[in-house]
């Protein structure tokens, strides 16, 4: 039996990377809508035997005119292009349940899974910001409504993916039998938010259900994740906090009657790799000189929902107000920002922002130091793997794959080669049977 291995996904925020000044140092700042860059990143991660490439998304521009790159290409379309230029790596598209319809999305993910021969994954988000809502001419629904809709959305999409039994397509050319109609089921869904007759117009894809990913951290978000997700993304800043979150998710998964070992908690990291620690620090310092403090301050203000001004820069960070989680926000991302401020409460806001300490947990050092940190989190029950970002792409992920991946392999923590061909194979997950299979109904 293979021992437990670290699961890696590459978090390509198409805004070019995790560093706030990333676009100033890449070869061409137009690369954030250039598909060749996306393909290159996926190919590098595939060389590093990552489970998947993950594209985040929000269907809007930033609140104000952006000071740095934001989400551009539609993730499913970009991943379709990546699919035909890679062989094994999983393909995770972020798509909102608030601004889509289940039938279309079930079909689009099934299509991606067919085209990629079983490598599709869906990062299910509910999209909190009014900015996106305004693009659809509505007010952002409140947190409970968003999750209520998301829950029904996923149930309906799953029914549509299940609407064809495995052997419904016969294709018997000599006997003249194309399909077995008894094995193609209307779903006849009538719920609170949606109605759909079904069935889907596509036979089941290789994974039947693409891998489902969720990153909500509120009470409702965690329950939703424990019910539906195969992978749960999180941003945690200390091992202790990572362990608490991990234990909470695993116990909720068990309460749902699911196997906690089949649901993977991946924590966000942003490694800066050097041949010495000094070199890694210098590499980061080169980028830090371009940080736009006003823009960083505005982003933090928006994230924690508190007005901050230049006058606050030389003060200690504000304390988390009670009721911070009552606003219509992403609890997960807002909580991560508060955690980062709390961890750095002895620094000034200027030091925090210049050290970009409010983003994903960053690790600066040699491949061995970075592998030590990842191993500690993995072995101490704080995560099953990592969602890896980089200062800027593709360079940052190339450094990780060339230097940290061999170290992880040397320690027996990461596979040397892919053992299977689908995203589910990489996670050791079976293909689910249709809920309409005769034995089930
Ligand atoms: C690593 C990570 C990545 C995320 N990526 C996205 C994203 O691409 N788009 C998005 O709308 N929300 C994204 N989110 C936000 C969560 O999905 C968000 O927390 C959720 O929509 C609101 O749930 P909550 O209030 O339960 O946290 C991400 C969160 C984390 C931790």
Domains and CATH numbers, the chain: 7-270+364-427 (3.20.20.30)
Cis preceding-peptide flag for 192 (omega within 30 of 0): no
Question: Mean pLDDT over residues 346-350, rounded?
Answer: 92
The answer to whether 201 and 126 have CB atoms below 8 angstroms apart is: no
Question: Three-class SS of residue 441?
Answer: coil
Q: What is the Å distance from ligand 1's center to 140 Cα?
A: 15
Question: What is the model's pLDDT at position 415?
Answer: 97
Is 346 buried (19+), middle (13-18) or exposed (0-12) by CB count in 10 A?
exposed
Q: 11, 93, 97, 333: which to mutate for ligand 1, most atoms within 8 A of CB?
A: 333
- Cβ-proximal residues to 348 (8 Å cutoff; 6+ apart), any chain: 313, 314, 315, 316
**Measured from the CB, is residue 56 less than 6 Å from ligand 1?**
yes
Q: What is the Å distance from ligand 1's center to 221 Cα?
A: 9
Q: What is the Å distance from ligand 1's center to 233 Cα?
A: 8
Q: Whose CA is nearest to atom 28 of ligand 1?
A: 215
Candidate ranges 25-29, 128-132, 145-149; pick with highest mean pLDDT: 145-149
Could you tell me how far CA 31 lies from the centroid of its own chain? Answer: 21
Q: What distance in Å separates the CA atoms of residue 339 and residue 333, rounded to the nearest whole number?
A: 10
Q: How many CA atoms within 13 Å lie on the side-chain side of 192? A: 10
Give the CA diameter of the chain.
80
Q: Where are the beta strands (DSSP E) in 203-339?
A: 211-214, 231-234, 264-273
Q: Whose CA is nearest to atom 14 of ligand 1?
A: 215
Q: What distance in Å separates the CA atoms of residue 431 and residue 440, rounded to the nearest whole number?
A: 16
Q: Residues of the chain with pLDDT > 70: what percent?
A: 97
Q: Whose CA is nearest to atom 24 of ligand 1?
A: 216
Nearest of 336, 321, 323, 324 to residue 245 by alpha carbon: 336
pLDDT at residue 438 is higher than 90: no
Q: Residues of the chain with pLDDT > 90: what percent?
A: 73
- Cβ-proximal residues to 182 (8 Å cutoff; 6+ apart), any chain: none
Q: Whose CA is nearest to atom 9 of ligand 1?
A: 57
Q: What is the Å distance from ligand 1's center to 101 Cα?
A: 19
Tokens of 10: 């590459």
Is 428 buried (19+), middle (13-18) or exposed (0-12) by CB count in 10 A?
middle
Q: What distance in Å separates the CA atoms of residue 406 and residue 402, rounded to the nearest whole number?
A: 7
Question: Mean pLDDT over residues 36-58, rounded?
Answer: 97
**Measured from the CB, is residue 213 less than 6 Å from ligand 1?**
no
Find where tokens 């947990």 sit: 361
Q: Which DSSP category does 401 fall into?
A: I
Residue 440 pLDDT class (50, 70, 90 cuts): low
Question: Three-class SS of residue 270?
Answer: strand
**Measured from the CB, is residue 268 less than 6 Å from ligand 1?**
yes
Looking from the CA of residue 132, the nearest atom of ligand 1 is: 11
- Cβ-proximal residues to 31 (8 Å cutoff; 6+ apart), any chain: 16, 37
Instruction: Write out pLDDT tens, residues 199-212.
Output: 999 999 999 999 99
Tokens of 276: 């010495």
Mean pLDDT over the full length of the chain: 93
**Measured from the CB, is residue 234 less than 6 Å from ligand 1?**
yes
Given CA atoms 59, 36, 11, 359 in this order, what sign does their dihedral have?
negative
**Measured from the CB, is residue 387 less than 6 Å from ligand 1?**
yes
pLDDT at residue 439 is higher than 60: no
**Measured from the CB, is residue 339 less than 6 Å from ligand 1?**
no
The answer to whether 273 and 397 have CB atoms below 8 angstroms apart is: no
The answer to whether 170 and 180 have CB atoms below 8 angstroms apart is: yes
Element holding 7 (H helix, E strand): strand 7-12
Pairing between β-strand 189-190 and β-strand 195-196 as defined by DSSP bridges = antiparallel
Question: Mean pLDDT over residues 226-247, rounded?
Answer: 96
């Amino acid at each position: 039996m293979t021992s437990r291995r670290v699961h890696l996904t590459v978090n390509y925020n198409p805004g070019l990377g995790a560093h706030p000044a990333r676009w100033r140092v890449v070869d061409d700042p137009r690369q954030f809508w250039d598909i060749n860059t996306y393909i290159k990143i996926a190919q590098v991660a595939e060389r590093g035997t990552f489970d998947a490439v993950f594209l985040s998304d929000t269907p809007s521009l930033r609140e104000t005119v952006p000071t740095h790159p934001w989400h551009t290409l539609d993730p499913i379309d970009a991943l379709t292009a990546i699919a035909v230029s890679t062989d094994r790596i999983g393909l995770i598209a972020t798509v909102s349940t608030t601004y889509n319809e289940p039938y279309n999305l079930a079909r689009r993910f099934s299509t991606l899974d067919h085209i990629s021969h079983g490598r599709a994954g869906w990062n299910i988000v509910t999209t909190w910001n009014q900015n996106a809502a305004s693009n659809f001419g509505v007010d952002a629904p409140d947190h409970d409504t968003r999750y209520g809709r998301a829950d029904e959305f996923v149930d309906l999409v799953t029914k549509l993916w299940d609407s064809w039994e495995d052997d419904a397509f016969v294709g018997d050319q000599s006997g003249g039998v194309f399909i077995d109609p008894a094995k193609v089921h209307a779903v006849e869904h009538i719920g609170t938010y949606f109605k759909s007759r079904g069935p889907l117009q596509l036979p089941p894809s290789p994974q039947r259900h693409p891998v489902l990913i969720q990153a909500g951290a509120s009470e409702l978000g965690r329950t939703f994740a424990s019910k539906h997700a195969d992978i749960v993304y999180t941003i945690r800043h200390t091992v202790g906090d990572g362990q608490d979150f991990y234990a909470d998710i695993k116990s909720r998964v068990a309460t749902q009657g699911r196997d906690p070992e089949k649901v993977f908690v991946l924590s966000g990291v942003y490694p800066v790799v050097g041949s010495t620690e000094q070199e890694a620090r210098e590499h980061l310092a080169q980028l830090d000189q371009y940080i736009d403090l006003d823009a960083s301050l505005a982003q933090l203000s928006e994230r924690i929902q508190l007005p901050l001004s230049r006058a606050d820069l030389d003060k200690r960070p504000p304390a988390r107000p009670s009721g911070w989680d009552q606003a219509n926000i992403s609890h997960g991302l807002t909580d991560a920002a508060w955690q980062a401020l709390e961890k750095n409460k002895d620094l000034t806001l200027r030091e925090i922002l210049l050290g970009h300490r409010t983003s994903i947990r960053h690790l600066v050092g040699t491949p061995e130091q970075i592998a030590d940190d990842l191993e500690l989190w993995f072995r101490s029950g704080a995560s099953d793997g990592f969602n890896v970002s980089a200062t800027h792409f593709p360079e940052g992920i190339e450094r990780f794959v060339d230097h940290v991946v061999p170290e992880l392999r040397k320690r027996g923590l990461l596979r040397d080669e892919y053992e299977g061909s689908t995203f589910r194979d990489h996670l050791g997950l079976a293909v689910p049977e249709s809920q309409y299979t005769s034995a089930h109904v």
